[in-house]
Structures are given as structure tokens and as C-alpha cells.
């Protein structure tokens, strides 16, 4: 299993450090150190999510990943996600092809419709076109990804490409393109239709309830006569790791509560409670909070349900002390990952 991290480059007051709020430059400095450490401890990938809000600093993830490429050696560098609906597929391709060259073939595109909507009015798009924008732009990106001279007819939301080459050319052929979803069946079926790897974000509720979506993905791909053995499935979730389970919970909760309650207030949800947080961190909950062994056990349990190829952990929801995040990355790479992969190898044999 590929095991890695993702982040939204959150930048909110650090509730465990006197409510200190970093400057964006300080936050990006810490973020690059976190990605560099993830590479050093052997994690497989790092994903960075695009957001256009005051509480996140990654409005242009590819720029940050390019800086990370110069400081890392083996870790794959992805978005989590690129909001393709409000972007230009040509520019997305050019940026990721450049990142692929800078990283010596380690770039990945992870495209999604976006769970936040700020990019739509920012770039002049109408939310009523939310799904149509993504579908049309994904088709254009796939046409570009094939390589050679691109002939794209254009349509409602895209302009024609009259048989032109697009440069630079990436090292990887094809450049990996994942589809990220939050649980919408139509989005799952779309990934299967195009034979693209799928990342499912499970950030609440009971993860086992996502099994029908996994079955939909594989069944749809099979009906399309795609080789399902070549389709990758990933699961991503919130979590935090410390040597002591209670320390992990107590460290993560204040920032998690503040961040989720703030977003919940925007969307009409009630404030997050400690009881809800504890339930999410229980063995059958969505959060990977606790000691390395607890995280190992939950990854292996979910692998029984989903048979997934990749697991991504968002270590902090809201801002946590940098030193604690670095320790969590160390534990994730040096304890969790090798133990999970040893267990899976033994099971396979």
C-alpha cells in the first residue's frame, strides 16, 4: 500500500501556542519542512489542496510542490485537489508537466470538483454549472494527456484547440491523473468510466458505509471493459498520531473543533463536540487519531473492507504546533508505514 500525507496548508491561530498566528511565509516554511521530512522517513506521496480562503495558504499548490521538488528525492507530489472546474486544463497540464520535470517524474494531478466554492466567483464561474464544468474540462484534460497535437472542439465551457502541441512534455507518460471524490456516486462512476484511479475522502460518519461506492467504482469499470486490476483506489481521512493515544487526542481536538465548527457555521452545521470527536476516533469511526498501533489497526481493518492501494492522512485540521506535526510525520513514516506493509505482505503470502 502507498501511504502518505495531504494538507490544506491551514493557517489559523495555534490554540496550543498562545493563539499565535503565523505569517503566510512562516506557514509555508514549516510546510516545506514537513514535506521534506515526509520524504526522509519514506512516505510515498504528499498531496496539497487548493483553497482560496484566509484560513489556508495553498491557493497555488503546484508552486509550493515545485519548491518541495527541489528539497525531496523520492516522494510523489500531488494536489489534493486541483479544482479543475474553475481552472484552465491547458494551464493545469503545463504546470504539472513542469513539476514532473522538476521532480524527475514524481508529479501527479488529483482533480476534483471542489468541496469549497470560493474559486467559482473568483474566476468568474457560475455554481449552477458545477458538474458540467468539471465534466467538460476533464474531457479536455484527458485529450491533452494523450499527447501529440491536440484537437479539441471546444464547447459550452471550453475553447477549441486547433491541433496544437502543448509544452513542455512531462517525463511520465501518461502523467498520473486521479479523481478525488467526497462520496457522490456520479463522481465515482465518472472515474470508473474514464478508467482513472479514485481517491475517496472519508472525513465523517462510518467508513464501512462507503463500501457500496467502492463496489460501484469496480463494477462500473468492469462494465466498461476496463482492466480493474490496473485501477488504483485510495482512501483519505483526518487524523493525528502521537506516541500516547490520549496525547494525540488532546493535541488534535482544539484545532479540529475550531476548524470544523467554523466551516460548519458557514454550512449550517452545529458546532463540533468532544463527544463527536471521540466517536470519530473510535475503531469504526472516520478519524485516524491515536497511537501508531491504533492507526495501524484501523488502516488494516479498512483494507479488509476496501482493498485499497493508497492511504492518505491529513495530519492537522486547523493549526497544530509544528514540532508535534513533525513528530507525527516521523511516527507515520518509521512505525506505521513499515508495519502496515509488513502485515499486508504476510497476508498476501
* CATH number for the domain that contains residue 88: 3.20.20.30
d(CA 68, CA 78): 11
Give the C-alpha distances (Å, rounded to integers) separating 249 from 4, 109, 221, 282, 313: 20, 32, 39, 11, 15
Q: Give the pLDDT score at 153.
A: 97
Reported as a pLDDT band with limits 50, 70 and 90, residue 97 is: very high
Cell numbers representing residue 22 in the block: 503565523
Q: What is the pLDDT averaged over residues 226-252?
A: 97
Q: Give the pLDDT score at 184.
A: 94
Q: Give the pLDDT score at 57.
A: 97
Q: Give the pLDDT score at 251.
A: 97
Residues 273-313: tens digit of each pLDDT: 999 999 999 999 999 999 999 999 999 999 999 999 999 99
Cell numbers representing residue 109 in the block: 494531478
The dihedrals phi and psi of 141, each to the nearest 5 degrees, come to -60, -40
Q: Give the pLDDT score at 114.
A: 87
Q: Give the pLDDT score at 17.
A: 95
Question: What is the secondary structure of 156-188 as a DSSP string?
Answer: SSS--EEEE--SSPPSSSSPPEEEEESS-HHHH
Reported as a pLDDT band with limits 50, 70 and 90, residue 179 is: very high
Split into its structural domains, the chain has a count of 1
Average pLDDT, the chain: 97
Q: Give the pLDDT score at 115.
A: 85
Q: What is the pLDDT averaged over residues 234-251?
A: 97
Tell me what percent of the residues of the chain surpass a pLDDT of 90: 98
Q: Are 191 and 197 in contact (CB under 8 A)?
A: yes
Give the C-alpha distances (Å, rounded to integers) separating 51 from 8, 48, 69, 177: 7, 10, 21, 19
d(CA 134, CA 132): 5
Q: Give the pLDDT score at 225.
A: 98
Residues 127-138: tens digit of each pLDDT: 999 999 999 999
Whether pLDDT at 141 is above 90: yes
Pairing, β 150-152 against β 161-164: antiparallel
Domain residue limits at 102: 2-348
Q: What is the pLDDT averaged over residues 110-135?
A: 96
Q: Are 9 and 22 in contact (CB under 8 A)?
A: no
Q: Give the pLDDT score at 301.
A: 98
Amino acid at each position: 500500500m502507498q501511504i502518505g500525507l495531504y494538507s490544506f496548508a491551514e493557517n489559523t491561530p495555534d490554540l496550543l501556542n498562545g493563539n499565535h498566528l503565523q505569517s503566510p511565509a512562516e506557514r509555508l516554511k514549516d510546510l516545506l519542512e514537513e514535506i521534506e521530512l515526509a520524504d526522509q522517513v519514506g512516505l510515498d506521496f504528499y498531496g496539497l489542496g487548493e483553497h482560496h480562503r484566509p484560513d489556508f495558504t495553498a491557493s497555488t499548490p503546484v508552486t509550493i510542490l515545485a519548491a518541495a521538488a527541489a528539497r525531496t528525492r523520492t516522494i510523489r507530489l500531488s494536489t489534493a485537489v486541483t479544482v479543475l472546474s474553475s481552472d484552465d486544463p491547458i494551464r493545469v497540464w503545463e504546470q504539472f508537466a513542469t513539476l514532473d520535470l522538476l521532480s524527475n517524474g514524481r508529479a501527479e494531478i488529483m482533480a476534483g470538483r471542489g468541496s469549497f466554492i470560493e474559486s467559482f466567483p473568483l474566476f468568474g464561474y457560475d455554481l449552477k454549472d458545477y458538474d458540467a464544468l468539471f465534466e467538460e474540462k476533464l474531457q479536455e484534460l484527458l485529450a491533452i494527456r494523450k499527447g501529440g497535437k491536440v484537437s479539441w472542439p471546444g464547447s459550452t465551457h471550453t475553447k477549441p484547440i486547433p491541433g496544437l502541441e502543448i509544452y513542455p512534455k512531462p517525463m511520465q507518460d501518461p502523467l498520473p491523473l486521479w479523481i478525488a471524490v467526497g462520496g457522490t456516486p456520479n463522481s465515482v462512476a465518472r472515474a470508473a468510466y474514464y478508467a482513472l484511479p479514485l481517491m475517496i475522502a472519508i472525513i465523517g460518519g462510518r467508513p464501512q458505509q462507503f463500501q457500496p461506492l467502492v463496489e460501484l467504482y469496480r463494477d462500473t469499470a468492469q462494465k466498461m471493459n476496463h482492466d480493474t486490476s490496473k485501477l488504483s483506489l485510495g482512501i483519505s481521512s483526518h487524523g493525528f498520531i502521537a506516541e500516547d493515544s490520549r496525547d494525540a487526542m488532546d493535541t488534535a481536538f482544539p484545532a479540529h473543533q475550531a476548524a470544523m465548527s467554523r466551516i460548519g457555521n458557514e454550512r449550517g452545521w452545529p458546532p463540533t463536540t468532544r463527544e463527536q470527536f471521540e466517536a470519530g476516533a473510535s475503531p469504526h469511526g472516520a478519524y485516524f487519531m491515536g497511537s501508531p498501533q491504533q492507526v495501524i489497526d484501523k488502516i488494516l481493518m479498512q483494507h479488509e473492507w476496501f482493498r485499497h492501494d493508497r492511504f492518505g492522512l491529513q495530519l492537522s485540521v486547523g493549526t497544530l504546533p509544528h514540532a508535534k506535526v513533525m513528530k507525527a510525520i516521523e511516527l507515520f513514516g518509521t512505525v506505521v508505514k513499515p508495519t502496515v506493509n509488513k502485515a499486508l505482505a504476510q497476508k498476501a503470502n
